[in-house]
Amino acid sequence: MSRSAKTKLPAALLALTVGAFGIGVTEFVIMGLLLEVSQDLQVSVPDAGMLISGYALGVVVGAPLMTSLTAAWPHKRTLLVLMLVFTLGNIGCALAPDYTSLMLARVVTAFAHGTFFGVGAIVATSLVAPERKASAIAIMFTGLTVANILGVPFGTWLGQMVSWRATFWAVSIIGVLALLVLWRFVPGQHTNTESVNWRQDLKVLRRAPVLLGLLTTVLGFGGVFAVLTYIAPLLTQLSGFSENAVSPILLLFGLGMIIGNLLGGKAADKHLMFSVLASMLILALVMALMSLVLENQMLMLLFVLLLGVASFATAAPLQMWVLNKAQGGSQSLISSFNIAAFNLGNALGAWLGGWVIESGPGLSAITWVAALVPMAAIATALLSRYLEASASQSTSLQGQPCVCE
């Protein structure tokens, strides 16, 4: 593709964004419906929160599994099959008669998530000029952010007004629409040109910088979901908002996600390492300061917006950072592993938040405990940087002639 063609926004990139929108609604809408699901299925709110962890763990398992099963397929076929799995999984959620069935359906749905974003990121970066790759990933991830500003609030409202099952039926319809858009606009010539060499790919996954990059992603998003999973009880029980106010407040979070996602992509195109460290430091500060305003409704509204900005400013930089560390291996596989790392962070964050509520210092402590997690991510990223610099220096010294006195 010519440079001039790549300066335009391709229809295929917009199609990927639509698919991301559907997946984003499924992943995040349950957060606004924890109270409804817990009451209907007669489980505790932390148990309902584990539906988020179950989905995230499904992504962790499904990402490498589905990527390996579809490794030799054209990218377009892979994306269509994954969206079909996603749609059928949501139908299963809508029909689930009990908590266990709902958990299993969520896990099945999650199997499509990691590979869709992993393969989608590879397709997205191939559609634009090299200096715009992180921005292309950010545009695809905008589907997630728009899901939060439009899909999740609407799904939360629908679940509160009708039934949480109606929300999953609506998401199933979105899945069908996404299938049609992907079929229409993703070009058939977007085939998988990577050779399947599992031995080489596993060697890449054993590299310390790659493993530390994946761990950075886990920790970077773990703190976000410790707070986000329990945003409804935080807003209602501590800030004093009504349950009906949760949905419109989530609009602020979604708006912040859009802003942060696009800013993060642009920053990563200019200075990748700086954007990784700065975005996580800002995230930690936002969550720490949020602890001071939990009982102030006006300031909580501001910090919900800031949390959205800070949380998704990390997405594109972390995805691009890991891809850069994985040269020589399957980009689709490494990309899907990093999506799995995002969701492992989601699962651990949801678990951490539940632990803080039930066994720790309580609901009001979630935000400051969560702030510690991205700080650990910063330390991990700096360690990765140090090891890479040391390895580079060692290689450079080995190439120099010995100077003896």
The per-residue pLDDT for 165 is 95
CA nearest neighbour of 182 among 154, 147, 143, 130: 143
Quick check: is 398 in a domain? no
Mean pLDDT of 51-74: 85
Mean pLDDT of 258-262: 88
CA nearest neighbour of 212 among 387, 60, 345: 387
Quick check: is 3 in a domain? no
Mean pLDDT of 345-363: 88
Quick check: is 278 in a domain? yes
The per-residue pLDDT for 341 is 86
CA–CA separation, 69 and 377 (whole Å): 31
Show the DSSP H helices in 111-163 as ranges.
113-126, 133-146, 152-161
The per-residue pLDDT for 14 is 85
pLDDT tens across 355-365, in order? 999 888 899 99
pLDDT at 190 over 60: no
Confidence of residue 131 (pLDDT cuts 50, 70, 90): confident
Mean pLDDT of 83-112: 95
Quick check: is 282 in a domain? yes
CA–CA separation, 59 and 65 (whole Å): 10
Mean pLDDT of the chain: 85
The per-residue pLDDT for 329 is 62
CA–CA separation, 32 and 25 (whole Å): 11
Residue 86 belongs to domain with CATH number: 1.20.1250.20
- Kindly report the number of other CB atoms within 10 A of residue 393's CB atom: 10
The dihedral of CA 291, 372, 147, 260: what is its sign? positive
The per-residue pLDDT for 330 is 66
Q: Which domain holds residue 327?
A: 8-391
pLDDT tens across 200-221, in order? 666 777 778 888 989 999 998 8
Confidence of residue 346 (pLDDT cuts 50, 70, 90): confident
Q: pTM for the complete prediction?
A: 0.74
The per-residue pLDDT for 198 is 54
- 173 vs 332, higher pLDDT: 173
CA–CA separation, 350 and 56 (whole Å): 9
Query: 8-22, 189-203, 251-265, 277-291: which has the minimum mean pLDDT?
Result: 189-203
CA–CA separation, 30 and 32 (whole Å): 5
Are 105 and 125 spatial neighbours (Cβ–Cβ below 8 Å)?
no
Quick check: is 141 in a domain? yes
Query: 104-118, 161-175, 388-402: which has the minimum mean pLDDT?
Result: 388-402
Quick check: is 396 in a domain? no
The per-residue pLDDT for 258 is 85
Quick check: is 1 in a domain? no
Instruction: State the total domains in the chain.
Output: 1
CA–centroid distance for 363 within its chain: 24
Q: What is the 3-state secondary structure (H, E, C) of 274-313?
A: HHHHHHHHHHHHHHHHHCCCCCCHHHHHHHHHHHHHHHHC
